[in-house]
Amino acid sequence: MALTRPPGHHATKQKSNGFCIFNFAAAAALHAMSSSSLHHHHPNLKVSILDWDVHYGQGVADIIVDFPNARY
């Protein structure tokens, strides 16, 4: 589990957006899925990102769109 503030959920692959420069939520999810020790022991590891906010974080969706084991 990672609790981050700010999550950076508006920053996309290509640009910062909505005062978000880095997308910490997506970076943490991708790191968890690509970590060699986790991936070795759990090859079907799935990650869920719960963004507790009142609006859509398009940056997270943009970054994890190509990763079927990640859900937003």
Question: What are the residue numbers of the active site?
Answer: 10
Q: Based on the number of CB atoms within 10 Å of its own CB, is 45 exposed (0-12), middle (13-18) or buried (19 or more)? A: middle
Task: Say if residues 64 and 70 touch (Cβ distance below 8 Å).
Answer: yes
